[in-house]
Amino acid sequence: LGRVSRVGSGVTKFKVGDLAAVGCMVDSCRTCSCCTQGLEQFCTTPNGCIFTYNGIDKHGTAPFTYGGYSKQIVVDEAFTLKVPTNLDPARAAPLLCAGITTYSPLRKWGATKGKKVGIVGLGGLGHMGVKFSHAFGAHTVLFTTSESKVADGKRLGADDVIISKNTDAMGKHAGSFDLIVDTVSADHDLNAYLSLLKVDGSLVLVGVPPKPQPVAAFSLIMPRRNLAGSLIGGIAETQEMLDFCGTRNVACDIELIPMNKINDAYERMLKSDVKYRFVIDMSTLA
């Protein structure tokens, strides 16, 4: 996220000085069935979707894409997002990852007023899941293993917080959820969350547990339920998310660090000691 410093002659969306953002993608084939549907992240052309980090550099200027740990980046305007000027740029930056990762499934699976929506885990993704679900008007329930996160969950917008290790508390909500977005990237029991869904309810994974998780057929069959996955969002949906955040003044809770603290931040992240995203102040890059 930063200010536009130069624009090419064909650029129409941006002028020098505009606040602009680049997310997880810098290009895609733009012609396949996914790209034309606005799902560039699932571009079906081999090597078509070029991720910002470790992607294949289409222009051959480097062996692969080096991402955003730099003072400047050259990107096609089609993969560049406009950032609402009323948002704090530091708090807007993680919207391009944690924001769109939770916004997209909540929108697609219909988190709206009258729906009961669960968010599993209160980390970088989960805290945005709670904020968006609440902002969409859904009855929002946070699942966490930590008593220490109950107050923060409520502050961020949860109507209720369930300690997921408490099987009695979980059992009381059996068959009552329309949607649960699961942000946890550790091994955990998916059947326990599936059992909380109504008929035609969905459990959507946005976290990636290290191992394949066992799923019982009857967790899905009786009643009819869905287990799905979701990955960031397309460019148009990411712009929609940023515009929504501008209008509703939604942004990430962050800790801003200078570049020379990045190793400390990495150690703290491994201990889950971050509320809820570290953002690097790029003006501190030597």
Q: Return residues touching a second copy (CB under 8 A).
A: 34, 37, 39, 41-42, 44, 175, 190-191, 199, 202, 205-209, 211-231
Q: Report in angstroms how near the CB of residue 198 gets to a second copy at its nearest.
A: 8
CA distances from 79 to 33, 153, 187, 243 (A): 18, 33, 34, 16
Structure tokens at 102: 């939770």
What residue has token string 């949906």? 237
- Indicate the residue among 92 and 180 with the shorter CB distance to a second copy: 180
Structure tokens at 10: 């064909």
Asked whether 261 and 281 are in contact (CB, 8 A), the reply is: no
Q: Report in angstroms how near the CB of residue 226 gets to a second copy at its nearest.
A: 5
- Indicate the residue among 200 and 281 with the shorter CB distance to a second copy: 200
Report the phi/psi class of residue 260: left, alpha or beta, with left for phi > 0 and alpha for psi in -120 to 50: alpha
Q: Report in angstroms how near the CB of residue 113 gets to a second copy at its nearest.
A: 18
- Indicate the residue among 214 and 258 with the shorter CB distance to a second copy: 214
Q: Report in angstroms how near the CB of residue 71 gets to a second copy at its nearest.
A: 31
Residue 274 DSSP symbol: -
Asked whether 55 and 65 are in contact (CB, 8 A), the reply is: yes
CA dist 61 and 130 (Å) reads: 40
- Indicate the residue among 209 and 246 with the shorter CB distance to a second copy: 209
Q: Report in angstroms how near the CB of residue 192 gets to a second copy at its nearest.
A: 12
CA dist 44 and 30 (Å) reads: 10
- Indicate the residue among 83 and 206 with the shorter CB distance to a second copy: 206
